Amino acid sequence: MIKKLLDRFIKPLDPTLLNTSLILMLIGLVVLYSASGMDMVKTVGQVKNLLIALILMWVLASISPNTIQKLALPIYIFSLVLLVAVALFGEVSHGARRWLHIGPLHLQPSEFMKIALPLMLASYFDKRGKDRYWLDFVLAAVLLIMPVLLVVKQPDLGTALLIASSGLYVIVLAGLSWRVLITLMIGALASLPLVWHILHDYQKQRILTLIDPTKDPLGAGYHTLQSMIALGSGGILGKGWLHGTQSHLDFLPEHSTDFIFAVFGEEFGLVGELLFLSLMLVVIVRGFFIAIEGSTPFARLIAGTLSMTLFTYTFVNMGMVSGILPVVGVPLPFLSYGGTSLVTLFISIGILMSVHHHRQLVKQ
């Protein structure tokens, strides 16, 4: 009896995704303990976040993709309402209105939109069938633009661009013509001078800092320079756990969230970084294989998009920390501290597991 219950519990879980994710989370907790200055309260808090995330992962893995698809519209509308609530009642922090208090919960609704938007667009294109016309893509663009504009308004340009990218992945995978895509890219490049004039001063400064962080080493370039110093000082094998100087001497900013990879690189060196990248690659590649095996257009679209989104977040965070991309405040999957981002990460993994577990139910 117990064995049957255990088998029923384990069956929806993909071993590769589960085991690799747990190893990455273990690494994340070890690094977080050091990055937070050996703060057990923060570390235990992340463990609690992880337990909630794992429960939601299992729930999503147990539900069929068809059921998840039925929830796509309500989830999208609910996430959109939360973004509107942030604009009206959200907490202002560091000059931005991004957080929302709902009872004991402290949420960043833009994180949920990273899941809600791809779900909505994947469901929309699935219902449109194989013959998709230009009007279908226009309506999809409207669904994408609404949440993106709300996040830009916070202002949070970095998160808005990442939400937009997750929606664009669905649109491209749904069959957007390469001619249209190239035309849009050319149009986007041509509009850069106009975009520059509507950017906030701090956003302009981030771009200028990317070009030359040494121009203002104690101001706008400080974050980038300190993270590059931390990564470089780690060398091949690193300085050892709890022995990183940049974070423990408070030179490195946001060392338990956005710049935690710099802490990891300083303490575990190039070897540790390659190990982390290898494990992340396993998760991402596994996601792509699951997408190929998807039983329905919705399953294939959402699995492919979530895998691409996971790659994007990893690349953007590491690019930001290493100085090849502007500082945009993007958490690193599995390592950065934060309940909302961790929950949405494992929801994504749960959806991937659902697509894999139910792949034989319907084949199209």
Q: Could you write out the three-class secondary structure of 273-306?
A: HHHHHHHHHHHHHHHHHHHHHCCCHHHHHHHHHH
Token pair in block for residue 226: 């300190």
Token pair in block for residue 182: 């190239």
Residue type, 170: V
Global confidence as pTM: 0.89
List, in order, residues 6 or more apart from 84 with CB less than 8 Å away.
150
**E strand or H helix at 15, and its extent?**
helix 15-35
Burial class of 159 by CB neighbour count within 10 A (0 to 12, 13 to 18, 19+) = buried
Give average pLDDT by consecutive 10-residue segment, the chain, 364 residues: 66 91 95 90 93 94 92 93 85 70 75 92 88 82 91 82 91 81 75 69 68 65 82 88 81 82 92 95 96 91 95 92 82 90 94 88 46
Question: Which residues share a beta bridge with 107?
Answer: 100
Q: Residue 363 has what pLDDT?
A: 47
331 φ/ψ angles, rounded to the nearest 5 degrees: -70, 150
